[in-house]
């Protein structure tokens, strides 16, 4: 039997023994990398119209290239942000399950939605870089959820992947529960591109990948480090983002 046929048979047996279930409620579903209709209704996907800079959804179309008040008042150092869903309800639970529950099986689902929302950014990118964890936190957590998502995005889009280019050199405290100013102070100077990896960034259009965008402090700090290393431009792609007024 050919390797292809063996794989097909093995997959069929696996689906028979372990039928796919919804990652949101564990109900039986017909295929993998999706959710059931009830959980689908709990997700708020971000579609146009939205702020071209920060990806904030608008209630109505304000015209091409329109920026939100937040992007005008405090322009981010990156060029564009895109996120697949609003960070609430099921989306928040999926992020928590991946990050703290070792649910790496969620990566294809999340990366698939991100690839759809960030198709334009992926098309422009020369290299994909995940937001890194500090070495101590990576040792405790065993994997970097952003790197796992970024790895799959880069592979599926056939883009260079540079997981070691950006390093978190400052052991920052968790951003959970911190206000906007505290978050900025917490991650100030936290990232650096080491000289040995500079050629992976210099002159290239970088796509920075993370799981959640809240106040933007982490993305901004990481972007500045990439630009100091010579990045031509930086876009940011996340699975979820906090909606306006929810920071």
Tens digits of per-residue pLDDT, 211-237? 999 989 999 999 999 999 999 999 999
Identify the three-state secondary structure at position 124. helix
State which fold the 42-241 domain adopts.
Rossmann fold (3.40.50)
* Residue boundaries of the structural domains of the chain: 1-33, 42-241
Does residue 196 carry a pLDDT above 70?
yes
- Rounded (10°) CA dihedral 82, 84, 85, 87: -60
123-145 tens-digit pLDDT:
999 999 999 987 766 677 778 99
Judge whether 207 and 125 are in contact, CB under 8 Å. Answer: yes
| C-alpha torsion sign, points 40, 42, 46, 47 | positive
76-92 tens-digit pLDDT:
999 999 999 999 999 99
d(CA 180, CA 187): 11
The more confident residue out of 207 and 245 is: 207
If you average pLDDT over residues 168-191, what whole number do you get?
Answer: 65
**Residue 55: pLDDT band with limits 50, 70, 90:** very high
CB-facing half-sphere around the CA of 152: CA atoms within 13 A = 18
Q: What pLDDT score was predicted for residue 41?
A: 94
Q: 238: which strand partners?
A: 83, 210
Peptide bond into 49 cis (omega under 30): yes
If you average pLDDT over residues 141-154, what whole number do you get?
Answer: 93
If you average pLDDT over residues 178-192, what whole number do you get?
Answer: 67
Q: What pLDDT score was predicted for residue 8?
A: 40
Does residue 62 carry a pLDDT above 80?
no
Cα–Cα distances in angstroms (integers) from residue 74 to residues 70, 142, 209, in the given order: 6, 35, 21
Least confident of 31-45, 65-79, 161-175, 225-239: 161-175
Nearest partner of 215 among 122, 109, 76, judged by Cα: 76
Least confident of 12-16, 67-71, 90-94, 120-124: 12-16
If you average pLDDT over residues 86-99, what whole number do you get?
Answer: 94
């Amino acid at each position: 039997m050919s390797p292809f046929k063996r794989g097909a048979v093995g997959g069929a047996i696996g689906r028979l023994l372990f039928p796919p279930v919804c990652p949101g409620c564990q109900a039986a579903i017909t295929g993998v990398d999706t959710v059931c209709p009830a959980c689908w209704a709990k997700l708020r996907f971000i579609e146009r119209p939205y702020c071209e800079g920060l990806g904030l959804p608008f209630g109505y179309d304000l015209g091409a290239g329109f920026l939100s008040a937040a992007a005008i008042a405090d322009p981010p150092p990156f060029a564009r942000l895109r996120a697949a869903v609003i960070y609430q309800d099921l989306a928040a639970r999926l992020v928590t399950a991946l990050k703290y529950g070792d649910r790496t099986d969620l990566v294809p689902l999340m990366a698939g939605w991100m690839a759809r929302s960030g198709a334009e950014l992926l098309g422009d990118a020369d290299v994909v870089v995940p937001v890194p964890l500090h070495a101590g936190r990576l040792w405790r957590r065993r994997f970097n959820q952003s790197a796992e998502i970024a790895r799959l995005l880069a592979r599926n889009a056939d883009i260079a992947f540079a997981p070691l280019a950006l390093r978190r050199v400052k052991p920052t405290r968790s951003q959970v529960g911190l206000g906007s100013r505290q978050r900025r102070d917490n991650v100030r100077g936290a990232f650096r591109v080491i000289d040995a990896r500079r050629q992976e960034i210099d002159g290239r259009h970088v796509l920075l990948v993370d799981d959640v965008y809240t106040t933007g402090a982490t993305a901004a700090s990481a972007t500045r480090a990439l630009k100091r290393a010579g990045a031509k431009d930086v876009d940011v792609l996340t699975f979820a983002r906090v909606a306006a007024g929810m920071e």
